[in-house]
Structure 1
């Protein structure tokens, strides 16, 4: 059956209540005739980066299912996702999915799926989050609602190429969720939990042990990345720091030039063009340097 409509643009986004914690992802698909198709799902124990990646996977699966060969623009507010799929993944594969330091690549399972689904027809573009872009804002609403355990009402007019065809199966219907039409609309006014704010003990106690262990493993991965950034003296942008901390970029820039996050002191170093560069230093190293300076 010919596909009369063509996908014009895709918007993807992920959210996480804590990092790690319960997460959600959302996709908004815009067709050339002005119609819209929305998707999303939740994960009880995940990270913000994995949800960003899962959103892109859902979007690319839809493109694959339609068999579209015309160019499609995919917008994401995650520089981690865009840089990973357009730049870093080539080097990772050459090194056997190892980083330049020889360490295993984080989220390898999802990177492999993304790499397989990606094609020359997909143009990856970065869009700044929470800047009034309609597609990005809607994706954010969908992802946050799923992360809160309140699936939103989704626009899901079935793409005509998928009606009555086997292509529907290739999208993996388990990852495309519709909300119960009888349920109340989600309260999207709820504020997402900053990853620097620990979840309540009650909420942790109610989670299965295996979920809590998975959250701990994801947290350790995040802390290892932060430690490596500090040890190597890498400078990272506000968006990259926000991805690491699982907060909005605006929350990073509004905290001032020097502040503490977990085991690190975060310092604003300089501006390059329209990017602010930040440095992470271990608290114990900062204290040691201070003591050495005081005793000299």
Structure 2
């Protein structure tokens, strides 16, 4: 008699072009018998952080729907997501969803869902992105495909059909856990007309939305350029008026995680600006932007 396979690990990733702009998320679930279940979808206007959260929500909803009691490891390349769920959310809730600077926490709706779905059965594990880890790379490919308006073929495994597994050869989970060279173990594309479960979300992205994105790609590219110009204009104003901004604010401006800002040292270059660490106020590091192409009296 066949037994229900156990979820061993889950990989999640999100992608966004424009930030805000068209986005997508991807999830890959690995079972102990080598079976694989993939999920993903698109959103027409979103942010990278929203897509990272959306992917984790879908993964945890799938885990809960499985009824599994054994713990799992959830892998993500977003340190921001891990910190939100495992560290910061407790204080945010206690302070009425306010950050240390008194400003409201972004994406509270998604964070509340994540907090409700999270449990001690979930071991959050950071994986370095684009390092050859096949689980992370596959999630990234799914997310980017949806973000670009393309609908990828996803491997599907129904939790209700315990007598079927995906056609071999399928690599065992242990091969996916390493950061070794990527190996394409899928010899054919798998599809199914019956998804394992319905994924609900605050974003409510749909595959149809991805098709709509594809039709509007030229418009989206122009919109992304507009967003970029606006971002650069804001950076220029910050530099011109001598405003000091925090690490999180600088990370938002650069569209990176805060850790990517603080790990760069006291002074470095970003696009047209020299970014310098000025001082610390409480638990905040303050940064200054200066136009690097205008130093020494040279005009752009």
Which category describes the TM-score, using the shorter chain as reference length?
Answer: 0.5 to 0.7
Q: Counterparts of 2:31 and 2:253 in 1: how far apart (Å)?
A: 29
Q: Counterparts of 2:91 and 2:271 in 1: how far apart (Å)?
A: 30
**1:258 paired residue number:** 268
- Note the residue ranges of structure 1 that are not aligned, 5 or more in a row: 187-199, 270-277, 292-296
Aligned 1:58-73 pairs, distance under 5 A: 58-73=58-73
Is the Cα contact below 8 Å between 2:12 and 2:52 reproduced in 1? Answer: yes
Alpha carbons of 1:151 and 1:280: their partners in 2 closer, same or farther (altered >3 Å)? farther
1:55-97 CA deviation, whole Å, 9 max, x = no partner?
A: 0001001011111111100000001101110000011000000
**Count of paired positions:** 240
1:221-264 CA deviation, whole Å, 9 max, x = no partner?
A: x98xx99xx8465499xxx95995259x99x999xx622347x6
**2:87 paired residue number:** 87
Is the Cα contact below 8 Å between 1:9 and 1:30 reproduced in 2? Answer: yes
Alpha carbons of 1:107 and 1:3: their partners in 2 closer, same or farther (altered >3 Å)? farther
- Note the residue ranges of structure 2 that are not aligned, 5 or more in a row: 164-194, 279-284
Q: Counterparts of 1:175 and 1:143 in 2: how far apart (Å)?
A: 12
Is the Cα contact below 8 Å between 1:23 and 1:143 reproduced in 2? Answer: yes
**1:283 paired residue number:** 290
Per the TM alignment, residue 19 of structure 1 is displaced from its structure 2 partner at its CA by 1.4
**2:219 paired residue number:** 203
Q: Counterparts of 1:172 and 1:22 in 2: how far apart (Å)?
A: 19
SS in structure 2 of the partner of residue 52 of structure 1: helix
Q: TM-score, normalised by structure 1?
A: 0.65
Is the Cα contact below 8 Å between 1:19 and 1:245 reproduced in 2? Answer: yes
The RMSD of aligned alpha carbons is 4.8
Per the TM alignment, residue 267 of structure 1 is displaced from its structure 2 partner at its CA by 4.9
Alpha carbons of 1:155 and 1:259: their partners in 2 closer, same or farther (altered >3 Å)? same
Alpha carbons of 1:204 and 1:120: their partners in 2 closer, same or farther (altered >3 Å)? same
**1:191 paired residue number:** none
Is the Cα contact below 8 Å between 1:12 and 1:25 reproduced in 2? Answer: yes
1:172-211 CA deviation, whole Å, 9 max, x = no partner?
A: 4976869xxxx9xx9xxxxxxxxxxxxx9x525988xxx9
**2:9 paired residue number:** 9
Alpha carbons of 1:151 and 1:204: their partners in 2 closer, same or farther (altered >3 Å)? closer
Aligned 1:134-213 pairs, distance under 5 A: 134-160=134-160, 171-172=199-200, 203-204=219-220
Per the TM alignment, residue 149 of structure 1 is displaced from its structure 2 partner at its CA by 0.4
Q: TM-score, normalised by structure 2?
A: 0.64
Is the Cα contact below 8 Å between 1:3 and 1:66 reproduced in 2? Answer: no
SS in structure 1 of the partner of residue 28 of structure 2: strand
Is the Cα contact below 8 Å between 2:54 and 2:110 reproduced in 1? Answer: yes
